Amino acid sequence: MFFEGAEKKAEIQVDSEKLSLLNDIPNEYWHDLVHKCEAKILSSIENKYCKAFLLSESSLFVWDDRFLILTCGETKLINSIEFFIQTYDVAILKQVTYQRKNEYFSHAQPSCFGDDLKILAKYVDGQAYRFGALDGHHNYIFHYENDFEADQQDKTYELLAYQISERASKLLSTEGLSKQQIRTLFNFDQLIPEFVIDDFVFDPYGYSLNAIKDDKYLTIHVTPQESSSYVSFESNIDLISLTPQIMKVLEPESFDILTYNEFDYVEKVNQFIPSEYQATCKIQQTLTNGYEVKFSNYLKPSAEFTSPAKININGDNHAL
């Protein structure tokens, strides 16, 4: 069974004097918005800064002046974004960032990034880039181009791990695994002390977590199956410095790091990325909205020949 773990992602910043996302929008609206991309809300946690919704496909975080939504699988995230813009009007938008990681079963996707751009272009002008080579790991990023200027302290970190070790894959694909077993595996007590956690174990496997502490968030989504294993972390806390602990658990063959406004990127990468990994690409751009984006893919170079993956020709290969 193959599953497209790679997320589509949107962050919408609004003028909170015109529209307070926490006070002016009822939870029902967020249910409707999530429904538009063909996902649903499973559960939620909140504090005075943030509402965090765990979705059937990834996560939605709402702060007073912005929301962030990540959806995986074959969801139609662009529909949720269009729904929001149509409900509240372009005039309240301060910034729109829309992002898609290259997909591995893109044949099965309801739209491609180019299709999504056409919908965004109906409402906002912008710029779009491909961070990374076409034939390597890459991220498509669109942003609204207006008079908005990014806060230099507004940092985002993504860590996306591929081909996790056989050990980690087997463990995380065990049927009937409990939340507590997964929390212990990742050692969240140490990784994110004092965060409030909302997590979910999917049937037969798969795991999602939202964690918040004041205005800080972390979200993790685990697609553990060996044929297409993928684990994504996204946060506004520094994930680069947590890389050694995460790598120890997952032992991936390959991972991506993408940051917004991490100005000490090079120093941190030198300090924290385990030495057996090598950068296959390093891409950097300061967007016209002021965000500095950096993207790298890291890979453990092959030493020995290995066997190919066998494909069950009678299986469900609709996406290969």
Binding site for its own copies (CB under 8 A): 104, 106-109, 112-115, 117-118, 121, 126-137, 140-142, 162-163, 227-228, 253-254, 278-285, 293-296, 299, 301-302, 304-311, 313-314, 316-320
CB of 114 to its own copies, least distance (A): 3
| Nearer of residues 17 and 316 to its own copies, judged by Cβ | 316
b/e string for 208-224 if b means 16 or more Cβ within 10 A? bbbbbbeebbbbbbbbb
Smallest separation, CB 220 to its own copies (Å): 18
**Shorter beta-carbon distance to its own copies: residue 190 or 306:** 306
Given the residues 59, 111, 169, 208, the one annotated as active site: 208
* Contact between residue 122 and residue 74 where contact means Cβ atoms under 8 Å apart: no
Asked if 37 is an active-site residue, the reply is no
Beta strands 254-260 and 216-223, pairing class: unpaired
Of 172 and 212, the one with the shorter C-beta distance to its own copies is 172
Residue 180 Cβ vs its own copies, minimum distance, rounded to whole Å: 30
* Residue reference for tokens 């946060």: 235
| CA 235 – CA 155 distance, rounded (Å) | 9
153 or 307: whose CB is closer to its own copies? 307
Q: How far is the CB of 103 from its own copies (least distance, A)?
A: 8
Tokens of 53: 């919704």
φ and ψ at residue 99, rounded to 5 degrees: -140, 140
CB of 50 to its own copies, least distance (A): 30
DSSP one-letter string for 255-283: EEEEEES-TTHHHHHHHHS-TT-EEEEEE
Per the annotation, the verdict on 165 as an active-site residue is no
In contact, 71 and 8? CB cutoff 8 Å = yes
Alpha-carbon distance 129 to 135, whole Å? 15
Instruction: Select from 195, 133, 205, 127 the least CA-distant residue to 172.
Output: 205
d(CA 224, CA 167): 11
Residue 316 beta carbon to its own copies: minimum distance, rounded to whole angstroms: 8
Which residue lies nearer to its own copies by CB, 42 or 283?
A: 283
Among residues 11, 37, 57, 58, the one annotated as catalytic is 58
Nearer to its own copies, 3 or 195 (CB): 3
Q: Are the beta carbons of 288 and 310 closer than 8 angstroms?
A: no
Per-residue tokens: 271: 């300090």
Among this protein's residues, is 208 annotated catalytic?
Answer: yes
Residue 43 annotated as catalytic:
no
Q: Choosing from 137, 138, 143, 221, which is the catalytic residue? A: 221
Q: Which residues are catalytic?
A: 4, 7, 58, 72, 208, 221
